[in-house]
Chain A
Amino acid sequence: NAGVMQNPRHLVRRRGQEARLRCSPMKGHSHVYWYRQLPEEGLKFMVYLQKENIIDESGMPKERFSAEFPKEGPSILRIQQVVRGDSAAYFCASSPQSQETQYFGPGTRLLVL
């Protein structure tokens, strides 16, 4: 049973470009979470999704950031017009049901030049 998959593992973008981060949850998991970890800081919740629905986006900046989890395919975290402050590790996690253990993927390390 493969774990949570994320790609790309590393992504370099110039200021103003778009970044698209992908996450495939563990098999049988329908709950997906995105967290951001800034350098030398703790993990911060961004958004929680179930298939085709955003359940909680309270941690996601209102501008430039969006997330989706379509019926088919991976969850996507999209950052438009990236700025240097977006440089961070973005981790996706999944769980089979609510209130159950969240398992993390390897992360995507975004560097904005």
Chain B
Amino acid sequence: GQNIDQPTEMTATEGAIVQINCTYQTSGFNGLFWYQQHAGEAPTFLSYNVLDGLEEKGRFSSFLSRSKGYSYLLLKELQMKDSASYLCATIKAAGNKLTFGGGTRVLVKP
């Protein structure tokens, strides 16, 4: 079975940093995705981690620890447009379906 947990909601101030944690229990785990989804829109790909460690892409970074079943998405220099839901999803080695967490709604305040 699979269980993916992430906080429901987070609030942060413009210009600050926010870290969104995701824990998972996925048998046959192969990798973890982060997507951004603005209200009423499609999920947009942010990152894909397969190996342990930190991957940085501009203001966004994603970290994975396979042994701990843990990932985080780090958003730096927050902008108002970063207000959105952030979705954590795992993929197994066998099969191609993504299993999503419930999403974390991030609200950026001025």
Chain A residues in contact with chain B, CB under 8 A? 31, 33, 35, 41-45, 48, 55-56, 58-59, 91, 93, 95, 98-99, 101-107
Q: Which of A43, A45, A101 contacts B48 (CB 8 A)?
A: A101
Chain B contact residues: helix, strand, loop or mixed: strand
On chain B, the residues within 8 Å of A105 by CB distance are: 42
Docked Cα-Cα span, A95 to B49, in Å, equals 16
On whether the beta carbons of B42 and A107 are closer than 8 Å, the reply is yes
Report the minimum CB–CB distance from B41 to chain A (whole Å).
Answer: 7
On whether the beta carbons of B100 and A42 are closer than 8 Å, the reply is yes
Report the minimum CB–CB distance from B17 to chain A (whole Å).
Answer: 25
Q: How many residues of B contact A (CB 8 A)?
A: 23
On whether the beta carbons of A33 and B97 are closer than 8 Å, the reply is yes
Docked Cα-Cα span, A98 to B72, in Å, equals 24
Q: Which of A43, A101, A106 contacts B100 (CB 8 A)?
A: A43
Chain A contact residues: helix, strand, loop or mixed: strand
Interface assignment of B22: CB less than 8 Å from any CB of chain A? no
Name the residue in B35, B42, B44, B100 with the highest tally of chain A Cβ atoms < 10 Å from its Cβ. B42
Query: Other than the known A42-B102, A48-B96, A102-B96, what 15 A-B pairs have Cβ atoms closer than 8 Å?
Result: A41-B102, A42-B100, A42-B103, A43-B100, A48-B95, A48-B97, A56-B96, A91-B43, A93-B98, A95-B96, A99-B30, A102-B45, A104-B43, A106-B42, A107-B42
Segment 27-75 of B: residues with Cβ below 8 Å from A: 30-31, 33, 35, 41-45, 48
On chain A, the residues within 8 Å of B87 by CB distance are: 42-43
Listed A/B pairs (16) with beta-carbon separation below 8 Å = A41-B102, A43-B87, A43-B98, A44-B100, A48-B97, A55-B96, A56-B95, A56-B96, A91-B43, A93-B98, A99-B30, A99-B31, A101-B48, A103-B45, A104-B44, A105-B42
